[in-house]
Structure 1
Amino acid sequence: MKKSHFWGAIVTSIAVSLGLTGWTSTAVHADDSKEIIFWNPFTGPDGTSMQSLVNQYNKTNPKYRVKNVSLTESDMYSKIPTIVNSKKGIPDLQIVHVERIKDYVNNGLLDSYNSYLKDFSGINKDNYVPEAWINGAYQGKRYGVPLDIHTSFMYYNKKLVKKYAPHALDDNIVTFDEIKAAGKKSQKDDVAGMGLTWWKPLFLSLYGQMNGELTKNGKDPDLNNKTSHRVINFYKDMHDKKITTQDGDDPMQLFLTGQQIFLPEGIWMNNQIKESDVDYGVTNAPQLSADPQKIVNWSSSHQFVLLKQPKRDKAKTEGTLAFINWVRTHSLKWAESGQNPASLAITKDPKYLKMQQSFLLTNKVEQDSMTIFNYRYNGYLADYLDRYAYDAVFNKTSVSQYLNKMQNTVQDEVDAQMTN
Structure 2
Amino acid sequence: MTDRHAPPGGARPAPTALERAGFVVPRHAAPPGPGVTRRQMLLGSLAALGGVAAVGALGGCAAPGAVSGARELAFWHLLSGGDGINMAGLVEDVNALGHGYEATQTVLAWGAPYYTKLAMASVGGRSPDTAIMHASRIAGYAPGGLLDPWDLDLLAEFEVTEDDFLPRVWEKGGLEGTQYSIALDSHPFVMFYNTDVAEQAGALGPDGLLAPIENAEQFLEVARAMQAVTGKHGLSYGYLGDGAQMWRLFYTLYKQHDAVFDLSGETAEVDEDAAVASLAYIQTLLDGTICAPDGDYGTAVAEFMSGESGMFFTGVWELPTAKNAGIPFDAMPIPTLFGTPAAYADSHAFTLPHQSNPDPEQRRATYQFVADLLHGSLDWAVAGHIPAFQPVVESTEYQELVPQAHYAPAAEILNYDPEAWFTGSGSDFQSYFLETVQNVYLRGADPAEGFGAFVRRINVQLSKPNPV
Using the size of structure 1 for normalisation, the TM-score is: 0.84
Q: Could you tell me which of 295, 300, 304 is aligned with 2:346?
A: 300
Partner Cα separation in structure 1 for residue 266 and residue 136 of structure 2:
14
Q: Could you tell me which of 286, 290, 302 is aligned with 2:335?
A: 286
1:325 aligns with 2:325: no
* Structure 1 residues 337 and 159: CA distance shift in structure 2, 3 A: closer
1:368 aligns with 2:368: no
* Structure 1 residues 316 and 154: CA distance shift in structure 2, 3 A: same
Name the SS for the 2:307 alignment partner: coil
Question: Which range moves more in the overlay, 72-81 or 136-145?
Answer: 72-81
1:243 aligns with 2:290: yes
Residue 151 of structure 1 contacts residue 299 of structure 1 at CA under 8 Å; is this kept in 2?
yes
Shift of 1:351: 3.6
Q: Could you tell me which of 439, 451, 454 is aligned with 1:406?
A: 454
> What is residue 389 of structure 2 aligned with on the other side?
343
Shift of 1:126: 1.5
* Structure 1 residues 39 and 145: CA distance shift in structure 2, 3 A: same
Deviation track 1:352-404 (CA, whole Å, cap 9, x = no partner) reads 3232112344x6xx542233334224234323235566421221643234223
> What is residue 106 of structure 1 aligned with on the other side?
143
> What is residue 133 of structure 2 aligned with on the other side?
96
Q: Cα RMSD between the aligned structures?
A: 2.8
Partner Cα separation in structure 2 for residue 387 and residue 193 of structure 1:
28
Question: Which range moves more in the overlay, 248-257 or 181-190?
Answer: 181-190
* Structure 1 residues 216 and 374: CA distance shift in structure 2, 3 A: closer
1:153-232 map, 5 Å: 153-167=190-204, 169=209, 171-173=211-213, 175-187=215-227, 190-197=231-238, 198-215=245-262, 217=264, 220-223=267-270, 225-232=272-279
Partner Cα separation in structure 2 for residue 332 and residue 47 of structure 1:
16
Between structures 1 and 2, the one with greater helix share? 1
Aligned length: 391
Name the SS for the 1:404 alignment partner: helix
Partner Cα separation in structure 2 for residue 115 and residue 127 of structure 1:
12
1:134 aligns with 2:175: no
Partner Cα separation in structure 2 for residue 72 and residue 390 of structure 1:
26
Residue 127 of structure 1 contacts residue 343 of structure 1 at CA under 8 Å; is this kept in 2?
yes
Name the SS for the 2:269 alignment partner: coil
Largest Rg, 1 or 2: 2
AA aligned opposite 2:414: M
Q: Percent identity?
A: 21
Name the SS for the 1:192 alignment partner: coil
Using the size of structure 2 for normalisation, the TM-score is: 0.76
Shift of 1:256: 1.9
Residue 150 of structure 1 contacts residue 299 of structure 1 at CA under 8 Å; is this kept in 2?
yes
Name the SS for the 2:464 alignment partner: helix
Partner Cα separation in structure 1 for residue 152 and residue 302 of structure 2:
50
Partner Cα separation in structure 1 for residue 71 and residue 158 of structure 2:
24
Q: What are the ranges of 5 or more consecutive residues in structure 1 without an aligned counterpart?
A: 1-18
Partner Cα separation in structure 2 for residue 159 and residue 60 of structure 1:
44
* Structure 1 residues 389 and 52: CA distance shift in structure 2, 3 A: farther
> What is residue 385 of structure 1 aligned with on the other side?
433
AA aligned opposite 1:400: A
Partner Cα separation in structure 2 for residue 343 and residue 214 of structure 1:
28
Residue 21 of structure 1 contacts residue 43 of structure 1 at CA under 8 Å; is this kept in 2?
no
* Structure 1 residues 367 and 50: CA distance shift in structure 2, 3 A: closer
Partner Cα separation in structure 1 for residue 287 and residue 156 of structure 2:
58
Residue 158 of structure 2 contacts residue 368 of structure 2 at CA under 8 Å; is this kept in 1?
no
1:86 aligns with 2:124: yes
* Structure 1 residues 241 and 180: CA distance shift in structure 2, 3 A: farther
Shift of 1:76: 1.2
Q: Could you tell me which of 358, 361, 376 is aligned with 2:405?
A: 358
Residue 189 of structure 2 contacts residue 314 of structure 2 at CA under 8 Å; is this kept in 1?
yes
Partner Cα separation in structure 2 for residue 219 and residue 313 of structure 1:
40
* Structure 1 residues 216 and 82: CA distance shift in structure 2, 3 A: closer
Residue 153 of structure 1 contacts residue 285 of structure 1 at CA under 8 Å; is this kept in 2?
yes
AA aligned opposite 1:195: S
User: Quick one: higher RCO (CA 8 Å, sep 6+), 1 or 2?
Assistant: 1
Name the SS for the 1:382 alignment partner: helix
* Structure 1 residues 142 and 302: CA distance shift in structure 2, 3 A: same
Partner Cα separation in structure 1 for residue 262 and residue 47 of structure 2:
29
> What is residue 262 of structure 1 aligned with on the other side?
311
Q: What are the ranges of 5 or more consecutive residues in structure 2 without an aligned counterpart?
A: 1-45, 56-69, 239-244
Name the SS for the 1:42 alignment partner: coil
AA aligned opposite 2:151: N
Deviation track 1:90-147 (CA, whole Å, cap 9, x = no partner) reads 1110110001111111222111113653652622121123321121111001111111
Shift of 1:171: 5.0
Shift of 1:41: 0.6
Name the SS for the 2:192 alignment partner: strand
Residue 437 of structure 2 contacts residue 451 of structure 2 at CA under 8 Å; is this kept in 1?
no
